[in-house]
Amino acid sequence: MLRAERTESSVLSENSTQEISGKANVYQLHNGYPARLHSSPEFDPAPSKRLVLKIAESKEELEACFSVLHDAYVESGFMRPDPSGMRVTLYHALPSTTTLCAKYDGRVVGTVSLIRQNALGFPLQSIFDLSAVREKGGQIAEVSALAIHSKFRRTSGSILFPLLKLVCEYCETVVDVRHLVIAVNPRHIEIYESMLFFRRLTMTVVENYDFANGAAAVGATLDIWQAKEDFRQHYDSKPASSNLYAYFTQLKLPNIELPEHSAGNGDPVLTPELLDYFFNVRTRTFDNLSAHTKAILHAIYHSPEYREVLPSLSGRLARVHNNSRIMGERKRLLP
């Protein structure tokens, strides 16, 4: 399994936390919730029509998302500056990962990624056990790579809360995800416990999380089905600007643009051209991968067009993969 990168494996990075508390700079999530509510959210239940929330699907949108993420991570000390000016990880190359974005006047101002179950596992699995979450049934997704443009971080959740609503609607209506998991810096865990009702995976704090550039991390999970009842009990009597129950379960935001019909696979957007551009040309993400990881990529992207841009296999793995491909083709052609 791949080692995880710092803030990538969280629902919110500290930037998103800054929108809530005015203190942080990148988003991360992972924990439970305390006995009583400590925070009262403030958001706009009718955001401006200039704000659009959608799947990042074009080269320009993806590049802008990775750039906003890079700048937020560098500012927060979660990564060193990359020559590309982007934060791109191998998980972004998977069809089971979806990058979502918030655009204001056509410009990307916020982003978050959802990493669904895949052959590489979840980033946070390198340090947290998800057995208890799996026992409950339902699909799991790790919320990761959440960041908001620096000019929009002190706007009372005007970008963060719509992004979180987009995540929930995408999970429920497009990919049928029940459980969200996150890894967050211990300084910010109380916000996610008290306001969003995340429950900790363990009370242990991991002191050195490689996926977060060696930062400390806490793991947490949110059962979307159970959260609806938690939100009803705590928020249903609140005014509209603080009622997260109504916001997440009843309110329809016309700003959200999601596919009307989906194959249930998240509607992957990475063409061979986009895969080559982001992982070979603009960054060197495909360099220095293990033979095992290369084989996994070839198993996922098995068409000739994709194989041309993937890191090449060598020796026995190349022969095994080629034989498997030939056998699959023979089965397809047999009457």
Q: Where are the domains of the chain?
A: 7-257, 288-333
Is the pLDDT score of 185 beyond 60?
yes
Instruction: Please give the pLDDT value at position 5.
Output: 34
Instruction: Please give the pLDDT value at position 23.
Output: 34
Q: Quick: pLDDT tens for 282-293.
A: 999 999 999 999
Nearest alpha-carbon partner for 51 in 286, 253, 207, 308: 253
Instruction: Please give the pLDDT value at position 102.
Output: 98
Q: How many CA atoms lie within 13 A of 117 on its CB side?
A: 11
pLDDT, mean of residues 44-62: 96
Is the pLDDT score of 43 beyond 90?
no
Instruction: Please give the pLDDT value at position 264.
Output: 66
pLDDT, mean of residues 303-325: 73
7-257 belongs to CATH 3.40.50.450: no
Instruction: Please give the pLDDT value at position 15.
Output: 52
Is the pLDDT score of 148 beyond 50?
yes
Pairing of strands 256-257, 51-55: parallel
Q: How confident is the model at residue 17 (pLDDT cuts 50, 70, 90)?
A: low
Nearest alpha-carbon partner for 9 in 73, 55, 101: 73
Q: Quick: pLDDT tens for 252-277.
A: 999 999 987 666 677 789 999 999 99
Instruction: Please give the pLDDT value at position 95.
Output: 96
**Predicted model pTM:** 0.84
